[in-house]
Structure 1
Amino acid sequence: MSEKFERLNDKHIAFIQNQHLYFVGTAGSEGRVNVSPKGMDSFRVISPSEVAWLNLTGSGNETAAHVSENPRMTVMFCSFDKQPLILRLYGEATAHHTKDERWNELYSLFPESPGARQIFELEIDLVQTSCGYAVPLYDLKSERPTLAKWAEKKGSEGVKEYWKEKNTVSLDGKETAILDNI
């Protein structure tokens, strides 16, 4: 039921562009595995073998800590509508922070977002599709405006203070490198 591909094809890219939700999985060399849901307009296909996603401020910063130690990442999309499908992207990721050389180039691909924290660029080494027959049917009601409103209310300096308080280390005590980029 599953198929493997070396890179994204046009059908995969069209599927990705129609999704409103995706999941990112990472792990350090030891410690907890993190799976994080992502939404909003935060994912871009750069080429058939490269994607990027904008990481907005959240309660933790596990992905940044993991990728700095171990670049392996899996991104998963799944269809919640009539046509079932699960699409996984496997590869190695690089975290780009606001002070990094590629930040402006990559950030220009996304809508301006208060609280933008990192951009993760994933070099794909495997694309896998599977049936998704067990994934339930859901209807999208709307995007949540909560995160953007929170970041706008905090302002740029308030978000940076939040990063210092909540986003400098992972659950396992691993550094996230965010302090180097404030």
Structure 2
Amino acid sequence: MSKKFPELDANQRKFIEEQHIFFVGTAASEGQVNISPKGMDSLRVLGPNRIVWMNLTGSGNETAGHLLEANRMTLMWCSFTTRPLILRTYGTAHTFHVGDEGWDELASLFPVHRSARQIYDLKVDLVQTSCGYAVPFMDYHSDRDTMQKWVDGKSDDDIRAYWVEKNQQTIDGKPTRPAD
């Protein structure tokens, strides 16, 4: 049975901080719904109704495009270990890009990463938990180093050129504003 809460409590915050992966869901008013897995050291819970996460370069940029049209966002975590639990946070998100007022303050919460495209600041208005009884057990081995190796092989100009080539539009052809 699912339960709803107006904010994250201490146990829920601890659960989030223990997870190695989270999923982000967004959608524009029309077109495809996007759900993306996220990892690395890219998420911080700043309060009972506030979560920020740093979005790193990827093959797509759906979240950015969707939030330009509809700033709704859902984050989800699920336990793959002993305690069966699925936790979702629903709310509205504000996007920060390099150079925006507030970027430096939020970026200082994370390890420096040259391929950071955006930071999303989620105002949580609903928390929902559910059982997770059907989620399989899986063991965490380690983070992948693939992203860091890719970044290490690129200059800052190469990364920005990749954004121009691959991250300007959603799969539905909507703009994303990956960088100015």
Regarding TM over 0.5, the answer is yes
Identify the residue that residue 154 of structure 2 maps to in structure 1: 154
Compute the TM-score of the two structures, normalised by the length of structure 2.
0.98
Q: Provide the TM-score with structure 1 as the length reference.
A: 0.97
1:171 partner amino acid:
I
Name the CA distance, whole Å, in 2 between partners of 1:49 and 1:65: 24
Unaligned runs of 5+ in 2: none
Shift of 1:91: 0.2
Question: Which residue of 2 is the match for residue 69 of structure 1?
Answer: 69
Q: Distance in 1 between matches of 2:10 and 2:131?
A: 18
Contact 1:65–1:169 (8 Å) recurs in 2: yes
Cα contact 1:61–1:167 (8 A) shared by 2: yes
Deviations 1:138-177 (A, max 9, x none): 0001100001110121121110010000001110111111
Q: Secondary structure at the match of 2:83?
A: coil
Aligned with 1:150: secondary structure? Answer: helix
Determine the structure 1 residue equivalent to 2:164: 164
1:12-51 matched pairs, under 5 angstroms: 12-51=12-51
2:110 is paired with a residue whose SS is coil
Deviating beyond 3 angstroms after TM superposition, the runs of 4 or more aligned structure 1 residues are none
Q: Does 1:125 align with 2:125?
A: yes
Alpha-carbon distance in 1 for matches of 2:107, 2:44: 10
Q: Secondary structure at the match of 1:154?
A: coil
Work out whether 1:174 is the aligned partner of 2:174. Answer: yes
- Contact 1:115–1:148 (CA under 8 A) maintained in structure 2: no
- Give the equivalent residue in structure 1 for 2:95: 95
CA contact (8 A) 1:79 1:132 kept: yes
Aligned pair count?
Answer: 180
Task: Note the residue ranges of structure 1 that are not aligned, 5 or more in a row.
Answer: none
